[in-house]
Structure 1
Amino acid sequence: METNTNKPRIMIYGANGYTGTLLAREAVSRGYSPLLAGRNAQKLAPLAEELNLPAMAIALDDDDALANALREIDIVIHCAGPFSATAEPMMRACIATGTHYQDITGEMQVYMLGHSLHEQAKQAGIVLCPGTGFDVIPTDCLARALSDAMPGATHLTLGFDSDSRLSPGTAKTSVESLGVGGAVRRNGEIEIIGHAEKERTIDFGRGEKFAIAIPWGDVATAFYSTGIPNIEVYIPLSPRKAKQMRRLNWLRPLLRTGFIQNFLKGKIEKSVRGPSAEKRAGLKTWVWGEVRNDRRGERKVGQVTTANGYDVTVYGCLAVMDFLANYQGEGGYFTPATLCGPGLVEQLPGSSEIKISLG
């Protein structure tokens, strides 16, 4: 374990996964010695040997073992999904042991869970900050910047356009949403809608594209960051694929069943691989946002470009980790933008400045 008192004691849980491995390698390149942890010792061993790091197999349902490990840790970067199953035991263990928590989830229910645990985290003096990766740093920072540019806004719309492929973990999360549907926030409350039920044309930064609303994490987090009561998030999709998505609405009850979920996730496990470093380097992401005050007839548009989602996740997690290493504020639940400020995304390698203009 790292003994330098100037550096935090870090645990990367789920270090053997695609993103966890990228994080561990980048952390070591910066002089950190994180503890690699996860559920399977054999899967952790090759990376631990490669990086000459300690490794520990810990089951999330083993309360005593998890607590004993976390008492020696300042910050957990949680990378083991599906977070709908893994986030709560890790969050509660961090609260019990006084350990800061961050993760790479994009799942709305995890953000809502963190928000519900705000007072417990505050009393423990620790930070809960889920979503310190591509989900949701760029969109969260843009949302906060747009809100600051238009106090009293009534509507916020966000979106992003990227050529990046899904990692195995993100693909599995997407499978979970198939049985649920889309989501938007209306008058402060989250509403479940059909797949591809809402559509519009958006110029994300490289020309106008047909886009559909998706159940992205900002439907939860942007509300916590801005207080804006009406929120939607869009991605580009061809009209043909949008039509196919709408057909899935008839199958949502079936797609929620454990048998179908396990079948689809098993296929992903066998076939989906994250992109190589060379492929990641050639990709970037265009992030777009619109804020309105319909009572005053005002509209502003914001844009920021970033590196590919995987690099944003690695750089974003480590930036938040560095922030928490010197953190002296109150504990509680935070979004990335409320913790580190909307300029966080601009600090990440490959990012542009946030630009806001009149719509």
Structure 2
Amino acid sequence: MLESQSGTIKTQQTPKWLIYGANGYTGRLIAKDAVKQGLEPILAGRNDQEIAPLAIELGLSYRIFDLADQDIVNQALADINLVVLCAGPFSSTSKAVVSACINQGTHYLDITGEIDVFTAIFAQHQAAKAANVVLCPGVGFDVIPTDCIAATLKNALPDANYLALGFDNKSQLSPGTMKTAIEGVKLGCKIRENGIIKTVPLGYRQRKIDFGNGLKQAVTIPWGDVATAYFSTHIPNIEVYIPLSPASIHRLRRLRWYRPLLSLSPIQRFLKYQASRKCRGPSEQERLQSKVYVWGEVKNDQGDIKQAYLTTPNGYQLTVAGTLLAVQHLLHYRGEGGYFTPSQLMGRNTIESLPGTSRIKVISGTFKTNTQAL
């Protein structure tokens, strides 16, 4: 493990926290905003040529280590109070970091949206509780807004047994997000049915939804809330939607035929390499100007329905703000350990405290049976 102190050396009483994957698109944004807030994270990753210059630019310490060796990861986190994992796909990176956090008594945050990662980390709840360690994945756009809407709707309709969530987001994707999406294609779509996560074909269901900016055709996607909203609400049936044009829905469904090919390791490596080369994420101007419309709906057996609406800044802006809010929360945390969703850890109104975000509006609605499964 390579380590350098290029910033102020902290006292032993000062909690230490670390950003792993600080050289990525979102990791850089989090590191730079952390410094603006007067925080001093240790930057970390496996690429010395990218981490070191960023640390020097920001006046921060840095550590270089790979996640392939569990003993090295344990050693790297031995004196760390909190780690924020920003290196994806998280299916490849989270296991070693979560294990080290439990072993070393280090709180864990990440910005994943991967369903399988959420469920794998949830399975570590008892171990984390015994170690008095907080595990809270998904403290960015995945999944703070939708998780808070889910918890708010559950509070509004306690006997709900169906939950639909969705968002309308026009932002360009970062390399890391695109790599995760490429990996997700081979896994198919996911919904939760009768409490169980179920794999269904891509573009499985479509319906018309007003996300807060007009009625649009929408389709199911494998979003993290299929896992996390269940942990927050215990609602047994969950789907997540995004708006797509009819032509885009048709193209998405055509991918069903190519899933075996897209699952091959050489194809996955090639597509992820292309994502690294061609995806740059939104510019600063795009991040500051765009916003996201977030929606949710619950229904009970009697046909009662509640809907909720929320607007947020660009997803990457929200991820930075949400992550740093969670960091501040855990650096002063005195509660018990275990697995938490963002709404469980910081409260269902957490989203409303983030800059540029509206209050959640809950209304009573009429359930329309216009959902199609194909």
Q: TM-score, normalised by structure 1?
A: 0.98
**Alignment partner of 1:184: what SS?**
strand
The CA distance in 2 between the partners of 1:4 and 1:347, in whole Å, is 30
Q: Which of 291, 300, 306 is 2:306 aligned to?
A: 300
Cα drift, residue 64 of structure 1? 2.8
Cα contact 1:301–1:358 (8 A) shared by 2: yes
Measured in 1, the distance between the counterparts of 2:9 and 2:152 equals: 37
SS at match of 2:349: helix
Which stretches in structure 2 are left out of the alignment for 5+ residues?
1-7, 366-374
Alignment-derived partner of residue 124 in structure 1:
131
- Conserved 8 A contact 2:292-2:314: yes
Partner residue, 1:197: 204
1:56 aligns with 2:63: yes
- The aligned counterpart of 1:351 is 357
- Distance 1:206-1:5 versus aligned 2 partners, 3 A rule: farther
Q: What is the CA-CA distance between 1:63 and the residue it aligns to?
A: 2.5
Shift of 1:180: 1.7
Letter in 2 for 1:256: S
> Is 1:211 matched up with 2:218?
yes
Choose from 164, 181, 201 the match for 2:171: 164
Mapped partners of 1:51, 1:231: distance in 2: 42
Describe the SS at the equivalent of 1:342: coil
Give yes or no for the alignment of 1:42 onto 2:49: yes
1:336 is matched with which residue? 342
Q: Which amino acid aligns with 1:327?
A: Y
Counterpart CA distance in 2 for 1:28 and 1:112 is: 32
Q: Conserved in 2, the CA contact under 8 Å of 1:17 and 1:79?
A: yes
Question: How far is 1:124 from its partner?
Answer: 0.5
**Equivalent residue in structure 2 for 1:277, among 278, 284, 304:** 284
* Contact 1:79–1:103 (8 Å) recurs in 2: yes
- State the Cα distance separating 1:56 from its structure 2 match: 1.1
Q: CA RMSD in A?
A: 1.1
- Which residue is equivalent to 2:79? 72
> Are 1:7 and 1:325, in contact at CA under 8 Å, matched by a contact in 2?
no
Moved more, 47-56 or 116-125: 47-56
User: Which stretch shows the higher mean deviation, 320-329 or 109-118?
Assistant: 320-329
Q: In the alignment, what sits opposite 2:371?
A: none
Query: Retained in 2: the 8 A contact 1:2–1:9?
Result: no
Deviations 1:274-327 (A, max 9, x none): 12211110000000000100x212000001111100011000001011111121
The answer to whether the Cα contact below 8 Å between 2:84 and 2:108 also exists between their aligned partners in 1 is yes
Q: Which amino acid aligns with 1:235?
A: I
CA drift of 1:62 comes to: 2.4
Task: Specify which of 311, 318, 321 is matched with residue 324 of structure 2.
Answer: 318
Deviation of 1:178 after TM superposition, in Å, equals 1.1
Q: Deviations over 1:219-268 (max 9, x none)?
A: 00000000000000000000001001111101111111101101110111
Post-superposition shift, 1:2? 5.3
Looking at structure 2, the residues matched to 217 and 228 of structure 1 have their Cα atoms a distance apart, in angstroms, of: 15
- 1:309 aligned residue: 315
> TM-score, normalising length from structure 2?
0.94
In structure 2, the residue matched to 1:251 is 258
Contact 2:73 2:96 in 1 (8 A): no
Percent identical: 52
User: Is the Cα–Cα contact under 8 Å of residues 2 and 34 in structure 1 kept in the other structure?
Assistant: no
1:263 to 259, 270, 274: 270
Q: Secondary structure at the match of 1:32?
A: coil
Equivalent residue in structure 2 for 1:150, among 151, 154, 157: 157
Paired amino acid for 1:176:
E
Q: Deviations over 1:194-219 (max 9, x none)?
A: 11120000000110010000000000
Match of 2:110 in 1: 103
Cα distance in 1 between the residues matched to 2:13 and 2:79 = 15
